[in-house]
Amino acid sequence: MTKKKKSILSDQRFIVLLVIIVLFAIFSFKSREFRQYTTILSMLDFSYYDLLMAIGVTFPLITGGVDLSIGTGMVCYALIAGSLVRNNNLPVVLAMLLCIVLGIIVGAANGVLIGIMNLPPFLATLCTCMITRGAGSLCSATPWPGLTQEGGWFHSIFKITVGTGRSASRYPIGFLWMIILVLVMEYVLNHTKFGRYTIAIGSNKEAAALSGINVKFYHVMVYVVCGLFTGLAAIAYAAVTPTVQPGTGAGLEMDAIGGVFVGGVAATGGYGSVIGTLAGIFVIMLLKTGLPYIGLQANWQQIITGAVLIIAVLIDIMKEKKAAAKEAVEQGFSENKTQFESELQMAKNEELEAQTKKEDADAALKDAQAKKTDAETERSKAQKKYDEAIAQNGELTQADVDQAQNAEEAKKALEAANDELAAVQKQFTSAQELLQNCSDRKKAADEDYDEAVKKNKLNGQQTLEAKQQLDEKQTALDNA
């Protein structure tokens, strides 16, 4: 239960959700106008194209890249398609498809420049940013058809209007489509081959290539997906902007990219969440919408938004350092533990082997002692008979000589038994020394293992203290 709670509280998406609630509460308390339905509706309208751009750019950012062309590209596609609608009577549905196709083409061009030609993502997308901005400037200011005009039905994709005039009711149905898109792309990121390979490329591009992933192909596809969502953003932008102005769009990508980082995408790539991107975009939109209602103008809005981004990146860096420190301690403890356990097991095996040799030597010693005892008994019997024969006869008979030879043979057998006993005793002493040596080594291995465990526990305690300090700093940053 505690671990689960701790995991939730350390999730940046949960923290961002708390920030959204706090910001909404502050702005609602400070300004009555902010609480009005029209304000929330307007904020949602202008969040659609930012969110669509952010969903798309999440994938390049996870790979460790970036796409700076999404802002000017979105305006460029809307201008080109809108000009065709106004000047050439192109059906709106075809204009919408044209926005998507243009987005995919530019995205594929970015992918080829970065994934195949190995240009730095910043440089490649900066070039396409300039190209799309220039292409958009060739068009004149273009309003798409209004809601009541022919072809204005596309506005209803994002907002349904019931009634007319001041009594009309407006419902932000576009928010529902955004939620569906976020859930779909979150599934794509975490449960499909494309998503897993995207994360793998961001984590370690070289390792991904060595594991058999077609890195170039998936690198291109990442930017194609980004271009697709930029095209969708162009449609949303045309739906909420009365007139699309040429030469604009530069800087719009920063809100999208900033929202992605606030939502928890790692600054170095390899990790991210589309749901986190949704939360991050709403933090940016709350700041842009709510700050004017408490008296802060545009300059202060940019300063505060930039500070929020710095804090978000710092939190991400702190999390990475904390995770790396924890992993290093755990890996070191695991390696030391394995080494000492191996040495301890080897000492135990040697001790068991020495014990077996000692038991064999002990059995051989008992057998030699028994043979010695038998030889001494036979020698005593022979000597006794020999002495009796000398005492009775006073001279040696052939039988006495034979008896004496038997006694001499028994003496030799006794000497051989003594030699064998000495050899076995020497073997037994050697086995005892080996056993003692093994016991000493086992004892030393036990002591080293215990010392290593204590040392790693101490390192774990130091890591825990460092983690607590990081948590305190993170809390201070959250409060800030």
pLDDT in tens, 351-372: 777 777 777 777 777 777 777 6
Nearest C-alpha neighbor of 278 from the set 293, 297, 263:
263
- Whether residue 52 is predicted with pLDDT greater than 80 in this model: the reply is yes
- Whether residue 115 is predicted with pLDDT greater than 60 in this model: the reply is yes
- Whether residue 465 is predicted with pLDDT greater than 70 in this model: the reply is no
- Whether residue 163 is predicted with pLDDT greater than 80 in this model: the reply is no
pLDDT at 349: 76
Q: Quickly state the pLDDT bin for 4 (edges 50, 70, 90).
A: very low
- Whether residue 183 is predicted with pLDDT greater than 70 in this model: the reply is yes
- Whether residue 442 is predicted with pLDDT greater than 70 in this model: the reply is no
In whole angstroms, give the CA distance from residue 371 to residue 183.
Answer: 90
pLDDT at 9: 46
- Whether residue 51 is predicted with pLDDT greater than 70 in this model: the reply is yes
Q: Name, of 5-19, 119-133, 376-390, the range with top average pLDDT.
A: 119-133
Q: Quickly state the pLDDT bin for 143 (edges 50, 70, 90).
A: confident
Task: Tell me how far apart the terminal alpha carbons of the chain are, to the nearest angstrom.
Answer: 29
pLDDT average, residue stretch 276-304: 86
More confident residue, 341 or 223: 223
**Residue 171 forms beta bridges with which residues?**
160
Q: Name, of 147-151, 177-181, 444-448, the range with top average pLDDT.
A: 177-181
pLDDT average, residue stretch 324-341: 68
pLDDT at 3: 39
**How long is the chain?**
480
Please check whether residue 375 is in contact with residue 410, taking contact to mean a CB–CB distance below 8 angstroms. yes
Query: Residue 22: CB partners within 8 Å, gap ≥ 6?
Result: none
pLDDT at 259: 92
Structure-token match 């929202």, residue found: 259
Query: Residue 458: CB partners within 8 Å, gap ≥ 6?
Result: none
In this predicted structure, which of 31-45, 97-111, 212-226 has the lowest mean pLDDT?
A: 31-45
pLDDT at 186: 96
Q: From the centroid of its chain, how far is CA 4?
A: 17
pLDDT at 125: 96
In this predicted structure, which of 33-42, 223-232, 307-316 has the lowest mean pLDDT?
A: 307-316
More confident residue, 379 or 59: 59
Whole-number average pLDDT of the chain = 81
In whole angstroms, give the CA distance from residue 307 to residue 315.
Answer: 12
The torsion defined by the Cα of 470, 476, 479 and 480, in degrees rounded to 10, comes to -120
In whole angstroms, give the CA distance from residue 332 to residue 371.
Answer: 59
pLDDT at 307: 85
pLDDT average, residue stretch 181-200: 95
Query: Residue 459: CB partners within 8 Å, gap ≥ 6?
Result: 329, 332, 333
Q: Quickly state the pLDDT bin for 399 (edges 50, 70, 90).
A: low
pLDDT average, residue stretch 391-409: 60
- Whether residue 137 is predicted with pLDDT greater than 70 in this model: the reply is yes
pLDDT at 342: 74
In this predicted structure, which of 124-128, 136-140, 463-467 has the lowest mean pLDDT?
A: 463-467
Please check whether residue 198 is in contact with residue 222, taking contact to mean a CB–CB distance below 8 angstroms. yes
In this predicted structure, which of 67-71, 188-192, 433-437 has the lowest mean pLDDT?
A: 433-437
pLDDT at 5: 40
